[in-house]
Amino acid sequence: DIVMTQSPLSLSVTPGEPASISCRSSQSLLRRNGYNYLHWYLQKPGQSPQLLIYLGSDRASGVPDRFSGSGSGTDFTLKISRLEAEDVGVYYCMQGLQTPITFGPGTKVDIK
């Protein structure tokens, strides 16, 4: 199975300030088609996970442009340019390269 790791595991951010989360996979998520099969989700308190970023860097429908994803191969980053109160929750990276699909442990983001 592909093992996903994230850092940090928790983050306190002042509103309006940037935030960055790192995700690493135990094997490359880059396919021959040039796409990275790495996706980001946000689970807000009391809610189901929601898709933020797919294929490493494409924002899902309705996701604000303050969210961006980057990286390739085994190292990926999710950046929030200016944190807003509604962004609090747990952020997960997920690999879709092969089954079983696996997730990172999550990064809890709250307001400082």
Partner 1 sequence: QVQLQQSGPGLVKPSQTLSLTCAISGDTISNNGASWTWIRQSPSRGLEWLGRIYYRSNWYNDYAPFVKSRMTINLDTSKNQFSLQLNSVTPEDTAVYYCTRLIGENWLDPWGQGTLVTVSP
By CB under 8 A, name the binding residues for partner 1. 37, 39, 41, 48-51, 54-55, 60, 92, 94, 96, 99-103, 105-106
Nearer to partner 1, 6 or 83 (CB): 6
Q: How far is the CB of 93 from partner 1 (least distance, A)?
A: 11
Nearer to partner 1, 83 or 90 (CB): 90
Cβ neighbours of residue 43 under 8 Å, at least 6 residues apart? Answer: 49, 50, 89, 90, 91, 92, 106
- Residue 109: other Cβ atoms inside 10 A: 20
The rounded distance, in Å, linking the Cα atoms of 16 and 28 is 33
The rounded distance, in Å, linking the Cα atoms of 9 and 84 is 19
Q: How far is the CB of 49 from partner 1 (least distance, A)?
A: 6
Nearer to partner 1, 44 or 82 (CB): 44
